[in-house]
Amino acid sequence: MHSKRNIADEKELLYLHLQSLSSELSIVFPPRSVASKDINDRHLTNFPALIFTALVTSTLFLRSHMHKDSMTKGGIYMGAIFFAQIQILFNGFAELSLTIIKLPVFYKQRDLRFFPTWAYAIPSWILRPPIAIIETAIWVVLTYYIIGYDPNFGRFIKHYLVLLAIHQMASALFMFNAGLGRNMILGNTFGTGALVLLIVLGGFIINVKKWWIWGHWISPLMYGHNALSVNEFLGHSWSKKLFENTTALGIQVLRSRGVFTQAHWYWIELGGLVGYVFLLNGFYTLALTYLSGRGAEIRLSSDVNAETRKMFVEEIMELVELTNLRDALVGLPGVNGLSIEQWKRLTIPVELVANPPIIFMDEPTSGVDARAAAIVMRTVRNTVNTGRTIVCTIHQPSIDIFDEHIHQIQNIKEGYNPVTWMLEVNSIAQEAALGVDFA
């Protein structure tokens, strides 16, 4: 009786746990579906470019000029296979920037415990394949038979499956790089580096040396290239024998490139690609879980505690006269949320929270009327009064704004070296004459 009660309790706990997981997914899935639709719309705009590239590739490797009668022609076919993988990789590269754009909102939601990270990542895995299926289908349909790959329909399907797996692997790889970089500069650096490594270690462009064979074996592109090559060169159209050689031409081509010649290796290589899809998606989830967004807190010293940071933020908001807008939505400039003048004032505290000694501004008063420009310049003056140095360019034709600068400083002459002028006007002698400490 006791054991039956325990089993019932365990079933109830399992049901509650599954219900909790379902609830967390239901919170994330609808907005992720809307975001995915927007992203898919952006991908749809790339379809014409993909179709154009596929048609150009088909004419470049046109089957009427690609006779399967020599080792040289076999190498050209293998080059066409490798180029198809590169094209699919570049299609996946688009995920990097699209992922980074969404990260700031995700970090806020994660830090406020809206949902666990896995509940955010899983919808990405689920919603990503449809666009990959369409893009891969467009490429394969427009290139496979025009290039002249083996005409067997089963090999056509197997060719498609490998490219689809490469597309999913590439998307997961670049999403992982986005999670590592967390901004466009680092993300693109990591993504480009990963792309170069995949191509170099793939085994087609550069011959693999013994001392870096391990890099070849961990390259996902190697698995895709080997699977596509085995699928193609073991086909009936490559079974002919040259001269008195008893080995089929397709097998000779595979051996010349160091590729396995047994048919079962296709499924092993495809399984390796699928494994990389799960592995890289897991790494992406871990990156989102344990890495923080690149905010001002990271740029501050580690000895600055949370209370000090809060006081500093309050001081900065009062300095730029935004305290009354502390709970307002930023919105889009000129559309909703803050006005353009308030937007410009907001850009100042965004940098001030990192407590920099010098701030560079490029035309802070452009795009606003004279009244708004005066408010912006008042904020700039308040910032200067805190002891910080501001270097800015101003093109606003307002005497009030020009009166903000320090008088009696000689204007720079036309054609004069700006560096020399700067050193002259802030010299010790000038400080003594003006009664100003430029430091």
What pLDDT, in 10s, does the model give residues 390-416? 888 777 656 666 665 555 667 778 888
pLDDT at 18 over 50: no
Give yes or no: residues 390 and 432 share one domain: no
- Token pair listed for 325: 């807008």
Q: Are 50 and 91 in contact (CB under 8 A)?
A: yes
Integer Cα distance of 192 and 54 in angstroms: 23
Give yes or no: residues 280 and 163 share one domain: yes
Give yes or no: residues 416 and 395 share one domain: no
Write down the pLDDT at residue 296: 52
The DSSP code for 324 is G
pLDDT at 17 over 50: no
* Mean pLDDT, all residues of the chain: 79
Where among 272, 290, 308 does a domain terminate? Answer: 290
Count of domains observed in the chain:
3
pLDDT tens across 121-175, in order? Answer: 877 777 778 888 988 999 999 999 988 888 899 999 999 999 999 999 999 999 9
Give yes or no: residues 94 and 224 share one domain: yes
Give yes or no: residues 40 and 179 share one domain: yes
Write down the pLDDT at residue 99: 86
**Mean pLDDT of all residues in 198-207:** 86
Domain housing 99? 2-290
pLDDT at 1 over 60: no
Q: Residues with Cβ < 8 Å from 326, sequence gap 6 or more?
A: 317
Integer Cα distance of 375 and 89 in angstroms: 49
In the 3-class helix/strand/coil scheme, how is 61-130 assigned residue by residue? CCHHHCCCCCHHHHHHHHHHHHHHHHHHHHHHHHHHHHHHHHHHHHHHHHHCCCCCHHHHHHHHHHHCHH
Where among 268, 290, 312 does a domain terminate? Answer: 290
* Overall pTM surpassing 0.75 (yes/no): no
Write down the pLDDT at residue 160: 95
- What letter represents residue 115's amino acid? F
pLDDT at 65 over 80: no
pLDDT at 183 over 80: yes
Give yes or no: residues 328 and 425 share one domain: no
pLDDT at 26 over 70: no
| Residue the block writes with tokens 């047994």 | 262
Give yes or no: residues 437 and 349 share one domain: no
Give yes or no: residues 302 and 338 share one domain: yes
Give yes or no: residues 384 and 410 share one domain: no
Closest to 124 measured CA to CA, from 293, 291, 287? 287
pLDDT at 16 over 50: no
Write down the pLDDT at residue 276: 94
Give yes or no: residues 281 and 343 share one domain: no
**Mean pLDDT of all residues in 27-39:** 49
Give yes or no: residues 277 and 222 share one domain: yes
Give yes or no: residues 311 and 250 share one domain: no
